[in-house]
Amino acid sequence: MKLTYAELPELYRLYLQHPQVSIDSRRVPDGGLFIALRGRTDGNQYAAAALAAGAAYAIVDDPEVAAAGDDRYLLVEDGLKALQQLAGRHRAAFRMPVFAITGSNGKTTTKELIAAVMSQQYRVHATPGNYNNHIGLPLTILSMPPGTEFLILEMGANHRGEIAELCAIGRPTHGLITNIGTAHLEGFGGQEGIRLGKGELYDFLRTNGGVVFVNNDEPQLADMAQGMSRIIPYFSSEEPSLSVAGLEIKTLATHPNLRVAFFSEARELVETDTQLAGKHNLQNVKSAIAVGRYFKVPGAGICAALSGYRPANHRSQWLTHRGVTFYWDAYNANPSSVGAALSSFSADSAPSDSVVVLGEMLELGEAAPAAHRQVALQAGQVARTVLLVGREMAEVAREFDRPHFADSGQLAEWFWQQEWAGKKVFVKGSRGNRLERLLD
């Protein structure tokens, strides 16, 4: 049997007839397209199961699988590339605003806030959860419902070149960088690598006449955007006015929750509460206001969206478990986000009443030893009791004579045998620590 490779126009025609794409045979929608990807195992081996489960077609890149004599197999050279090309082709069919968000910290929170604000006025489709990489971004585009008026794409990266690749697929018309921090230092090869890597979003918007939203309160961003022709600046101000320099946002409170004031599109000064705490979340809130105002969401709509948003999924959450109060921020960790979260927590809890649990911070490369030492020191200023978890924390635990746990399982076992009445417990660490085992 002679096998031929399916071309993009044919794949796209099939996608338009079967617009639900899945990379998992266990979750393939009836009549959808299955695309085989290679992870730790080879997705090609699940193509038959996908068809049996109701997939209309299976896009595979293993000729032996495609040779099975079932014309519902479509052979491509590379399943991942096919997924990305399909998404790029689909994106090219639309003229709506496509808003890209990247940065070291706060991408998901900013994306959720912008989506909430923009949904007050438009039909919005946004990256689900953290689907922000070379697989998640194409899946986001291909799952866009008909009638979408505003598409929001979160873009994550752990090395240079990735944001440029994601931009080539998503072709954003607007975008923002949340900040240049210290996440994924290892893959970016240092701070300059992070600046250049995140700056690939500005490069794309610069080359393609896009609009960039710049938070002037974040170091480096205004410099990086210099020379761009379409900049929407925003910044904090004690006395907001309707200036020409940009959108001015006043912070009325940072604790227990943020409260801010700004001039709406109708030139009225409006105030809103939020359910978010800390100066880091203030940056995320400001971005959402700037975007909403630019796209003419009324002030009341912006306020309703911001006051209704509750942080979730291990990000900046106050919660109670087995009678203990937690500041639960265990989604991820790097020196800049741990620093921001600890300062936010310390405003609400005296050192004598505070316990800090820090898991190791991953993907920091050579900077890891100094970075772990730095956050452990900061934790010691915030809380009397500091518990350290993971291999990278072992050395500093010895140096500062702090309890150390090999992993979160060991921590949980010990933790729940202690008495924590009246304490507030801060928890943060990289995803790999799975600190949520403390809540089992």
Ligand X SMILES: Nc1ncnc2c1ncn2[C@@H]1O[C@H](COP(=O)(O)OP(=O)(O)OP(=O)(O)O)[C@@H](O)[C@H]1O
Ligand Y SMILES: CC(=O)N[C@H]1[C@@H](OP(=O)(O)OP(=O)(O)OC[C@H]2O[C@@H](n3ccc(=O)[nH]c3=O)[C@H](O)[C@@H]2O)O[C@H](CO)[C@@H](O)[C@@H]1O[C@H](C)C(=O)N[C@@H](C)C(=O)N[C@H](CCC(=O)N[C@@H](CCC[C@@H](N)C(=O)O)C(=O)O)C(=O)O
Q: How many residues does the chain have?
A: 440
- Partner interacting with residue 363 (select from ligand Y, ligand X, ligand LVM2DEV6, none; CB below 5-8 Å by kind): ligand LVM2DEV6
Q: How far apart are CA 67 and CA 200, in angstroms?
A: 41
Is residue 316 involved in binding ligand X (CB under 6 A)?
A: yes
Minimum separation from the CB atom of position 426 to ligand X (A)? 10
Is residue 32 involved in binding ligand Y (CB under 6 A)?
A: no
* Stretch of 211-219, 284-292, 327-335, 339-347 lying at the interface with ligand LVM2DEV6 (CB under 6 A): 327-335
**Hey, which residues between 215 and 244 contact ligand X (CB under 6 A)?**
none
181 in Cβ contact with 334 (< 8 Å) = yes
Size of the site for ligand Y (CB under 6 A): 22
Is residue 363 involved in binding ligand LVM2DEV6 (CB under 6 A)?
A: yes
Taking CB under 6 A as the criterion, the residue among 65, 221, 333, 383 binding ligand LVM2DEV6 is 333
Nearer to ligand X, 179 or 274 (CB): 179
Specify which residues 428 forms β-bridges with: 358
* Stretch of 99-107, 144-152, 159-167, 202-210 lying at the interface with ligand X (CB under 6 A): 99-107
Minimum separation from the CB atom of position 273 to ligand Y (A)? 29
Three-state secondary structure call for residue 325: strand
54 in Cβ contact with 28 (< 8 Å) = yes
Contacts of 231 (CB under 8 A, 6+ apart): 211, 212, 213, 214, 225
Is residue 287 involved in binding ligand X (CB under 6 A)?
A: no
Contacts of 351 (CB under 8 A, 6+ apart): 381, 382, 383, 384
204: left (phi over 0), alpha (psi -120 to 50) or beta: alpha
- Partner interacting with residue 283 (select from ligand Y, ligand LVM2DEV6, ligand X, none; CB below 5-8 Å by kind): ligand X
- 104 annotated ligand binder: yes
**Hey, which residues between 103 and 162 contact ligand LVM2DEV6 (CB under 6 A)?**
130
Structure tokens at 354: 């505070």
- The counts of H helices and E strands in the chain are 16, 19
- 346 annotated ligand binder: no
Only one residue has tokens 């291990």, namely 314
User: CA–CA distance from 368 to each of 138, 172, 175, 331, 382 (Å)?
Assistant: 32, 34, 31, 19, 21
Is residue 430 involved in binding ligand LVM2DEV6 (CB under 6 A)?
A: yes
| H or E stretch at 391 | none
DSSP string, 56-124: SEEEE--HHHHTTS-TTEEE-S-HHHHHHHHHHHHHHT--S-EEEEE-SS-HHHHHHHHHHHHTTTS-E
- 428 annotated ligand binder: no
**Hey, which residues between 321 and 360 contact ligand X (CB under 6 A)?**
329, 331-332, 336-337, 340-341
Taking CB under 6 A as the criterion, the residue among 130, 251, 275, 343 binding ligand Y is 130
Structure tokens at 60: 């595979």
Beta strand 247-253 with 259-263: parallel, antiparallel or unpaired?
antiparallel
**Hey, which residues between 165 and 224 contact ligand X (CB under 6 A)?**
178-179
Is residue 315 involved in binding ligand X (CB under 6 A)?
A: yes
- 103 annotated ligand binder: yes
Is residue 362 involved in binding ligand LVM2DEV6 (CB under 6 A)?
A: yes
Is residue 130 involved in binding ligand X (CB under 6 A)?
A: yes
Contacts of 387 (CB under 8 A, 6+ apart): 355, 356, 357, 358, 402, 403, 404, 405, 411, 415
- 320 annotated ligand binder: no
200 in Cβ contact with 163 (< 8 Å) = yes
Taking CB under 6 A as the criterion, the residue among 32, 43, 106, 175 binding ligand X is 106
Minimum separation from the CB atom of position 108 to ligand Y (A)? 8
Is residue 431 involved in binding ligand LVM2DEV6 (CB under 6 A)?
A: yes
- Partner interacting with residue 26 (select from ligand LVM2DEV6, ligand Y, ligand X, none; CB below 5-8 Å by kind): ligand Y
- 274 annotated ligand binder: no
Three-state secondary structure call for residue 330: coil
* CA atoms within 13 Å, Cβ hemisphere of 250: 14
Nearer to ligand X, 20 or 130 (CB): 130
Q: Is 353 exposed, middle or buried (0-12, 13-18, 19+ CB in 10 A)?
A: middle
Is residue 344 involved in binding ligand LVM2DEV6 (CB under 6 A)?
A: no
Minimum separation from the CB atom of position 419 to ligand Y (A)? 36
- 4 annotated ligand binder: no
Taking CB under 6 A as the criterion, the residue among 156, 299, 301, 390 binding ligand X is 156
Q: What are the binding residues?
A: 103-109
- List interacting residues with ligand Y (CB under 6 A): 23-26, 37, 39-41, 43, 46, 129-133, 135-136, 139, 156-158, 162
- List interacting residues with ligand X (CB under 6 A): 105-109, 130, 156, 178-179, 280, 283-284, 315-316, 329, 331-332, 336-337, 340-341
